[in-house]
Structure 1
Amino acid sequence: MSSSAAHVVLPFGQFYGREEVRRSAPDLEWALLRADPHRIVSRHSHDEAHFVLVLDGLYVSSAVGAPAVSHGVQLIYNPPGTTHRDRFEARDRVVSGRFLALSVGTEALAALRMHTTRDDTPQHAVVIESAGAIAAAHRLAVACTRQGRDAAYEQQAMALELLCHADNTVRVTHSAPCSHAAAPAWLQRACEYLDDSRGGQSCIAEAARVAGVHPVHLARVFRRFTGQSPATYVRQRRLEQAQCLLRFTTRSAAEIADSCGFADQSHFTHAFRNVYGATPAAYRAAHGVAELSHLPN
């Protein structure tokens, strides 16, 4: 991301990746895509609400509320206006991933109860853990590859089923450490920047610049609404991402330390041990993962 935090607004239903298939119905559009290892994903916005079902790979999104790294099958709801940089991390030095994206237009969203009241309106990404919603999304992903006279009808029905399952789940489970109804709009911009940064001395000052506030004001308001300082927030997100990369990739600890923004491997080891009670090497060994450089020929 550039220091100006410039970004593009993607057209309805458009996502970064190599499309396998794309289908649409009134006010809905869904597609199966694979990660494009040769394309750099820029910071961007989606005006419409959309769901992302991660089918394979290590998915990373800087959207507020999104997990540090999604591994395995995971369903994420992004409300209208989400700004982020989402991408797939390399596993064994190869970038790969596959996902289903379902875009929901304004009228379709209004027909649901997701956004009927201010209290019910999610202002940030929501990880959906409902088994029914995940199953519906997975059925839609499988159905996308089908051909035949009734294929389009079946896919539309499955897309609507996903929306119905997700409706109550999104409204009931969306939460944050603060009251986002009262939080200033610039706070989310700051969080998005911090989620997508690699830390460093200028990180918080740059987040304040992006948000259009003084760093002191950022620190005071950030703690009020999140319960922690911006620096603590960044450390937590970097460690969460590093933990997933240690467990689900064979990248070396040095590579992970660098990609997650730690000064060096020693700094990474010290920070990781303080939080997780084990060194990165011990944590990885406990989960049966060997670094790529240590794999047998």
Structure 2
Amino acid sequence: MSNIPFTLHTQNSAAINVSLLYAASSKYEGEWSGTPHSHPYAEFFYVLRGEIDFQAEGEPYSLHEDDLIVINPDVNHTERPRGPGTVEYVSFGVEGLCMDPADSGMWSSCSLFHCRQSRSEVRFFLRLLLAEFENNLPNYEQLCCHAFESLLVFLKRAHPQELAVTAPKRTARECSAVKRYIDANFRQPISLDHLAEVSQLNKYYLAHAFREYIGLSPINYLNSRRVEEARVLLRDTSHSISEIAGIVGFSSQSYFAQVFQKAVGESPGEYRKRLRRGRQEKQE
């Protein structure tokens, strides 16, 4: 793996030190089984041909030709082709960089860009980046840096209000791990003390960092996952409201009703009745 260090200036004139680690092109015919994995660096993934089903932290993305997805450091992700056919893509790793929604102050697992309108320019710089990495000719580092910075310029032009390039947050990895833990275990009893023990962070620091990078406190995010699951059960099963409260992890029906009302704007019972009325009206 190569390592090309250089300084990148962000839109607020801050300088961050980054390193281009690798650039590679891949081609697959038929199917491959994607394995969930993560990297301690950002990964740029550009589709040259075909369609790919992509997941980052459990969130699905449908990638088509000339789509670019940037996966932030330490984000669990996987990719697999959508159906039979040939798939080609370019990927390259960048250490010291994170891409988040502009002005949101929130951590994001990845950013998706549709590059069809700037297809020729983006592909030109990708080809340049690949060729220079492969050939290692004199001063290839300068051309690689130029190609990468030019690619960022085209992304910023196409998405001026959506893109912020920053240095990775120091606790992004820990927050990402806590988020994954909640996603996998939200039906179990979970407290802030327990999450602090899992992440090996001070619980007050964890609460602050998680809110800063995810946008919700750990407990509010936990409750949002439980409410999300409860809405599915209210819609698709005949379980009682008290049973659903227990299934999704709430300690009492009254607390479940309180959290659900605040999140959805109606009680669990009202939500279920409204859905049933809608189904009956469609059948009539």
Normalised by the size of structure 1, how large is the TM-score?
Answer: 0.44
Higher alpha-carbon Rg: 2
